[in-house]
A and B are shown apart, each in its own frame.
Chain A
Amino acid sequence: MKRIAAAAAAALLCASMAGALPEPTPNQAVIDGREMPAKLSAFGIFRPGTSEPIDALLPYTLRTPLFSDYAGKKRLIWVPPGEKARVAADGQIDFPLGSMIVKSFAWPDHNGGRPVETRLLLHRASGWTALPYLWDADGKDATLALAGRRVPVSFKSPGGDAHSIRYAVPNKNQCKECHSKRGEIVPIGPKAANIDFAAALSRPEFARFFAELPASALSIPRWDDPATGSIEERARAYLDVNCAHCHNPEGSASNSGLFLRWSDPAGINYGIRKRPTAAGRGSGGMEFAIRPGDPDNSFLIYRLESLEAGIAMPEVGRSTVHKEGAALLRQWIAEMPKDGH
């Protein structure tokens, strides 16, 4: 209630200060509230009638992003006034209540580069809440799509291949399938090791949003930049970002026994000579998730290169094969020493 009163007071103040409007900020009462607004504009993240964000949020990029059908993603963080996010010793970022993470998906050659969807993660008193919004045809606002939807999207991937897909905007539950830790929703992307702080640090909002940068923030490599790590290191970064949100002991794929975090040791549970558990036809008739030296007989590759429901991994969020990512993992497996037997 205090916040609503404060917002009302601020609004009155604005009205009396005609002509000298302060920098707009997102609607904190809506972020904090219990509602799921039908329109994205209720949050005040974007300039009215556009998909251009206001300046008050902190844009950030990731060193290695999750692959989502070659979509370009614009990411924003909001931390409420007077609060700060803190980086814990393990690199997880602790966002205060009232924080918001915004991610918009667009292709430069589709619909004039305007976003197709924007997903919100709101840190409410009841926990993190995930809400998917689909942009309206006129591009002026976006509408809540709780149950998700498939949207036709056409674009060219960096290699020049043309794609026409039925892009899947996830439903609220699918948001949680990936953003799940012990059954609760958590942010995935913004970990200290993966945020490109160099880009974020130059922004004036940074100091307001973050208490401090960890003295030695461990950084994972950029999956596509050989200057940042070996083939193995970049493959591990790719698996961490694209798979480990489910494939960890507290994630949606915990029962598989396949754990692909950056920190997991390279053994059976990392897929190396691991037999399928509940893969079904996802095994592609192969014995092991990863057979060292033999990517063609590693069903981890088979599943990454498949588009068929029941085989394809990840299970949600992919209607295109990420050729470049698969090529990196192929090279990593091909270079592993074959076992003696």
Chain B
Amino acid sequence: MQVHWVTFIAAVAAATSPAAAKTISVAAGAPDANEKLQEALILAEPGDVVELGAGTWTLTDGLSLDVDNVTLRGAGTKDGDGTILDFSGQQGAGEGLLVTSDDVYLTNFAVLNTKGDGIKSKGADRIVYHQLRVEWTAGPKETNGAYGIYPVESRDVLIDSVYVRGASDAGIYVGQSKNIVVRDSIAMENVAGIEIENCYDADVHDNIATKNTGGILVFDLPSLPQQGGHNVRVFDNVVSDNSTPNFAPKGNIVASVPTGTGVLVMANSRVEIFGNLLADNGTANVMIVGYRYPYEDEKYQPLPKDIAVWDNQHGNAGFAPAFPGGAEIAAAMGGNIPPVLWDGAGSAIVNDEVGVLSLNLPDVGTPQSEAKPSPADLKGDASEPLAGVTLPASMEARVQ
């Protein structure tokens, strides 16, 4: 009897306590590597690490992860000795990797040439994207996927030290989420470098956004489950030479972003832009505009409200304004328009020591062709600064 009891208790313990976390290693290069890797992602248990071997993985179908608290770790992001997930021959799925579970940590691998988005996470709370490369290696092309790194409908998102290039919409796109940090990352040669859309509470700082069409975008769009974007801080970034001609497929909202845009705020309330180095953006270093399209959503708020701009360093800007009528305005003003451009809708405080051009279109229903551009003085006292975003300690611990 004694023995039986011990066995019984051991069996109960095994059934009720989570199995010890383990590392599942998967090697690149096997003929069925795609299936083996997907199988590992399905069989992983909370706490496990799935280790992706170094080398180039030739993948034909999108991968997905739906287990909480799993780490997906590669050997690095560089060609040669890193873990390269190559989707050039992808036949199915809307993205390279889809994460739909919480507390996932993605680190040290590269995702290349996906047909749709690079890495998407949906409803994936406390996700950490760290030291990743997502790239369309032929550079800007309309046929590239839309988003490089794409968390949506999530609470607590950290994107840290990633590199994204070539996205035909946004390199780093955070949509309809809350409590977000995007930092220490590089976005280049995308249509939008970094885009925060329909989000609440985001800090975007210490990034480099260069050679995109537009560097950093803070948008709010109608008819979506989460709207009314607010409390976004864009600070200490380098946003320079965003000069790539817009290559977004027509119809998408970013297809309307003028080439040469530095930081662009559309709709949203409480956005702070400070301490950035903004230079060589041919249309404007900072643009603040309303949503100027027809919409049928009564709850939608199309105006930028309570936008504050201060302590930014401005280099050359406004030398090639790429919006309709921009060239004529620049010519009339002696070659350049001022580095800060406001369409005249909503409210903004600009305390940078540079000029502001207003298009004097306070009503978003007025067509842009009726713009009456004139210099504007938007100096004033901004609201009490936002407190900034704090992420759960468990997330920060991942990247220490």
> Do A and B originate from a single complex?
yes
Which A242-291 residues have a C-beta within 8 angstroms of B? 249, 252, 254-255, 257, 267-269, 273-288
Asked whether, in the complex, the Cβ of A276 is within 8 Å of the Cβ of B252, the reply is yes
Please, what's the 1-or-0 string for B54-72, where 1 marks a CB less than 8 Å from any CB in chain A?
A: 0000001110111000000
Using CB atoms, name the residue of chain A closest to B15: A34
Asked whether, in the complex, the Cβ of A280 is within 8 Å of the Cβ of B66, the reply is no
**Is B94 located at the chain interface by the 8 A CB criterion?**
yes
Whether A309 touches B223, Cβ cut-off 8 Å, given contacts A148-B38, A279-B146, A299-B251, is no
Tell me which residues across on chain A come within 8 A of B175, comparing CB atoms. 255, 278
Asked whether, in the complex, the Cβ of A255 is within 8 Å of the Cβ of B296, the reply is no
Assembly CA distance A277 to B145 (angstroms): 14
**Is A172 located at the chain interface by the 8 A CB criterion?**
yes
* A173 CB contact (under 8 Å) in B34, B65, B115: B65
Asked whether, in the complex, the Cβ of A277 is within 8 Å of the Cβ of B38, the reply is no
**Is B375 located at the chain interface by the 8 A CB criterion?**
no
**Is A168 located at the chain interface by the 8 A CB criterion?**
yes
**Is A150 located at the chain interface by the 8 A CB criterion?**
yes
Whether A171 touches B145, Cβ cut-off 8 Å, given contacts A257-B224, A277-B221, is no
Which B171-217 residues have a C-beta within 8 angstroms of A? 173, 175-176
**Is B22 located at the chain interface by the 8 A CB criterion?**
no
Main SS of the interface on chain A? loop
Tell me which residues across on chain B come within 8 A of A310, comparing CB atoms. 90, 94, 114-117, 145-146
**Is B225 located at the chain interface by the 8 A CB criterion?**
yes
Chain B nearest CB from A276 CB (Å) reads 5
Asked whether, in the complex, the Cβ of B92 is within 8 Å of the Cβ of A279, the reply is no
Asked whether, in the complex, the Cβ of B42 is within 8 Å of the Cβ of A147, the reply is yes
Main SS of the interface on chain B? loop
* A150 CB contact (under 8 Å) in B61, B98, B223: B61
**Is B377 located at the chain interface by the 8 A CB criterion?**
no
Assembly CA distance A309 to B93 (angstroms): 6
**Is A203 located at the chain interface by the 8 A CB criterion?**
no
Assembly CA distance A19 to B300 (angstroms): 73
Which B10-56 residues have a C-beta within 8 angstroms of A? 34-39, 41-43
Whether A316 touches B225, Cβ cut-off 8 Å, given contacts A281-B168, A283-B251, is no
Assembly CA distance A279 to B222 (angstroms): 15
Using CB atoms, name the residue of chain A closest to B43: A146
Asked whether, in the complex, the Cβ of B60 is within 8 Å of the Cβ of A150, the reply is yes
**Is A174 located at the chain interface by the 8 A CB criterion?**
yes
Asked whether, in the complex, the Cβ of A280 is within 8 Å of the Cβ of B116, the reply is yes
**Is A177 located at the chain interface by the 8 A CB criterion?**
yes
**Is B122 located at the chain interface by the 8 A CB criterion?**
yes
**Is A166 located at the chain interface by the 8 A CB criterion?**
yes
Chain B nearest CB from A182 CB (Å) reads 9
Tell me which residues across on chain B come within 8 A of A183, comparing CB atoms. 100, 123
Which A79-97 residues have a C-beta within 8 angstroms of B? none
**Is A110 located at the chain interface by the 8 A CB criterion?**
no
Number of residues from B at the complex interface, CB < 8 A: 56
Chain A nearest CB from B114 CB (Å) reads 7
**Is A323 located at the chain interface by the 8 A CB criterion?**
no
Tell me which residues across on chain B come within 8 A of A275, comparing CB atoms. 221, 251, 253, 293
Assembly CA distance A149 to B293 (angstroms): 44
Assembly CA distance A283 to B146 (angstroms): 10
Assembly CA distance A171 to B61 (angstroms): 10
Asked whether, in the complex, the Cβ of A283 is within 8 Å of the Cβ of B225, the reply is no
Chain B nearest CB from A294 CB (Å) reads 13
Whether A280 touches B152, Cβ cut-off 8 Å, given contacts A149-B35, A168-B61, A173-B42, is no
Asked whether, in the complex, the Cβ of A285 is within 8 Å of the Cβ of B168, the reply is no
Whether A309 touches B115, Cβ cut-off 8 Å, given contacts A173-B65, A255-B122, is yes
Asked whether, in the complex, the Cβ of A254 is within 8 Å of the Cβ of B225, the reply is yes
Asked whether, in the complex, the Cβ of B251 is within 8 Å of the Cβ of A309, the reply is no
Tell me which residues across on chain B come within 8 A of A119, comparing CB atoms. none
Asked whether, in the complex, the Cβ of B38 is within 8 Å of the Cβ of A286, the reply is no
Chain B nearest CB from A249 CB (Å) reads 6
* A283 CB contact (under 8 Å) in B98, B143, B252, B297: B252
Assembly CA distance A262 to B252 (angstroms): 27
* B250 CB contact (under 8 Å) in A269, A277, A285: A285
Whether A280 touches B92, Cβ cut-off 8 Å, given contacts A173-B64, A249-B225, A275-B251, is no
Assembly CA distance A137 to B251 (angstroms): 47
Whether A281 touches B142, Cβ cut-off 8 Å, given contacts A173-B42, A183-B100, is yes
Question: B60, B61, B296: which has the most chain A beta carbons within 10 Å?
Answer: B61
Chain B nearest CB from A186 CB (Å) reads 15
Assembly CA distance A176 to B42 (angstroms): 12
Asked whether, in the complex, the Cβ of A269 is within 8 Å of the Cβ of B223, the reply is yes
Asked whether, in the complex, the Cβ of A280 is within 8 Å of the Cβ of B64, the reply is no
Asked whether, in the complex, the Cβ of A281 is within 8 Å of the Cβ of B146, the reply is yes
7 further interface pairs, Cβ-Cβ under 8 Å (given A168-B61, A255-B176, A319-B92) = A166-B91, A173-B98, A255-B122, A257-B223, A279-B252, A280-B169, A310-B117
Which 7 residue pairs across A and B have the least CB separation, nearest first? A280-B146, A310-B116, A310-B115, A309-B115, A147-B38, A283-B251, A285-B250
Which chain B residues have a beta carbon within 8 Å of chain A's beta carbons? 34-39, 41-43, 60-62, 64-66, 90-94, 98, 100, 114-117, 122-123, 142-147, 150, 152-153, 168-169, 173, 175-176, 221-225, 249-253, 293, 295-297
15 chain-A/chain-B pairs, Cβ below 8 angstroms: A146-B43, A147-B36, A147-B42, A148-B35, A255-B122, A255-B175, A268-B222, A276-B252, A280-B249, A283-B249, A287-B251, A299-B251, A309-B93, A310-B115, A316-B92
